[in-house]
Amino acid sequence: MFQTKKGRRRRLIESPLTPQWLAIIERNVPYYRGLPPEDQRELQRLTQVFLAEKSFEGCNGLDITDEIRVTIAALACILLLHRKTDIYPLLQSVLVYPETFVAPVETHEPGGIVIEDDEELEGESWETGALILSWREVLESVADPHDGCNVVFHEFAHQLDDEWGVADGTPPLPNKSMYKEWARVFKVEYDALVEADDREEETFLDPYGAESPAEFFAVVTEYFFEIPLELREHHPELYEQLRLFYEQDPATWRGQT
């Protein structure tokens, strides 16, 4: 019998996570332990749907295990809590390498010059339905959940940014009234980071965010979930825009205060 996506998802979320999968989340997703109980239950439901709808593929000989699938899925779904979402609608598959991987990269120089080279990457998000991660980098990300670096948060922020077909640092916002203030705050903050990077000044935010507005959004998403207290202190307006977008306030999670 044919089932709608809504019907399939309802059946999925009515089935609890297996004890083995829940143990993986509790072990490998440190943010889970700081969430209130209702958010923990929501994360379990989102993870259940993600695992059912997205495929995983191991690369360079990596065998995809439940630990890999559940860890990545739960981390990705942290970004979806409280939000009306179709659970990364553009994403079809997650490719996982055992370590960093080499990919061709284009660099655009002044005068229209394009330089093509190979670069070693920790993760990459494509607009064509795939996302690539290094499993080693995923584990390193969760080993220190307060260092401001999380490759899963970074790459899945790109997926959110891509949902309207343009990766420009402005994902689809909850309501139209947010766009004007979002644009103002992000332009001021991004321009300031670019100028500081040009002057080779030390900055609180990772200078990689100066690469483009899309990278800036991905970098500040990492900071928002990993070091929210510090982000709120150094960049309060930026933190507030992210709080409104993600409809979460990680500075109040247990273990953050």
Structure token digits, residue 94 = 């997650």
Span 11-38, average pLDDT: 90
Residues 50-78, mean pLDDT to the nearest whole number: 96
* Residue 253 confidence (pLDDT) above 90: no
The shares of helix, strand and coil residues in the chain, as percent rounded to the nearest 5, are 55, 15, 30
Residue 105 pairs in a beta bridge with: 117
Q: What pLDDT was estimated at residue 89?
A: 93
pLDDT for residue 3: 59
- Angstrom distance (rounded) from CA 212 to CA 209: 7
Domain boundaries, given as residue ranges, for the chain: 17-252
- Statement: residue 62 has pLDDT above 80: yes
Find out whether 170 and 163 touch, Cβ atoms under 8 Å: no
Q: Average pLDDT for residues 203-228, to the nearest whole number?
A: 97
* Residue 53 neighbours by CB distance under 10 Å: 18
- Extended strands (E) in the chain: 55-58, 93-97, 101-109, 113-121, 123-125, 130-134
What CATH number was assigned to the domain covering residues 17-252? 3.40.390.10
Q: Cα–Cα–Cα angle for 191, 177, 174, nearest 5°? A: 90
Q: What pLDDT sits at residue 186?
A: 98
